[in-house]
């Protein structure tokens, strides 16, 4: 029997040449690891709608979801996910930490200083080697 792949979205925010990264809470699954914010796609929801909903829930902001940047499939102990990355831009709202320990705006060359969740690492590499342009 084939395992179901959990579809998850990630937002690649770029502002003044910097990227937004978020640190998971110590009580979360994959505690204290950094990630590109987003979340699990619900039934009958597009990835773009998911990102808008998740970013509203996690930061109380409204965003514009842009270009699809690719996906990465990663198997964790709890299951296999397909992480789909999209460009996103902030529209309105003040960032509130409702679901993360910390957020930071960092330059691409600084990404390797942070311990990212395994599924996000493929996007870190692509950003650092220029495969995904910011």
Domain CATH code at residue 54 = 3.90.79.10
Q: Tokens representing 3?
A: 């395992």
Is residue 133 domain-resident? Answer: no
Is residue 64 domain-resident? Answer: yes
Is residue 89 domain-resident? Answer: yes
Domain count, the chain: 1
Domain that holds residue 56: 5-128
Is residue 134 domain-resident? Answer: no
Is residue 109 domain-resident? Answer: yes
Full pLDDT tens readout for the chain, 134 residues: 457 899 999 999 998 899 999 999 999 999 999 999 999 999 999 999 999 999 999 999 999 999 999 999 999 998 999 999 999 999 999 999 999 999 999 999 999 999 999 999 999 999 999 999 88
Please give the pLDDT value at position 85. Answer: 98
User: Considering the entire predicted model, what is its pTM?
Assistant: 0.93
Number of H helices and E strands in the chain, helices first, is 2, 7
CA atoms of 69 and 125, how far apart (whole Å): 13
- Torsion angle defined by CA atoms of residues 19, 25, 26 and 32, in that order, rounded to the nearest 10 degrees: -10
Q: In the Cβ-directed half-sphere of 11, how many Cα atoms lie within 13 Å?
A: 29
Q: How many CB atoms sit inside 10 A of residue 58's CB? A: 20
Query: Where do the DSSP E strands lie in 1-134?
Result: 5-15, 18-24, 34-35, 38-40, 62-76, 79-92, 100-107
Residues 72 and 32: beta-carbon distance below 8 Å: no
């Amino acid at each position: 029997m084939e395992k179901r792949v959990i579809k998850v979205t990630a937002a690649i925010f770029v502002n003044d040449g910097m990227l937004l990264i978020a640190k998971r809470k110590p009580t979360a699954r994959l505690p204290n690891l950094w990630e590109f914010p987003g979340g699990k796609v619900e039934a009958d929801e597009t990835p773009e709608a998911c990102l808008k909903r998740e970013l509203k829930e996690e930061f109380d902001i409204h965003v514009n979801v842009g270009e699809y940047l690719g996906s990465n499939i990663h198997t964790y102990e709890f299951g296999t996910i397909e992480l789909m990355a999209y460009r996103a831009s902030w529209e309105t709202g003040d960032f509130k930490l409702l679901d993360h320990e910390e957020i930071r705006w960092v330059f691409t060359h600084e990404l390797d200083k942070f311990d990212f969740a395994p599924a996000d690492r493929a996007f870190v590499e692509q950003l650092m080697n220029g495969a995904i342009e910011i």
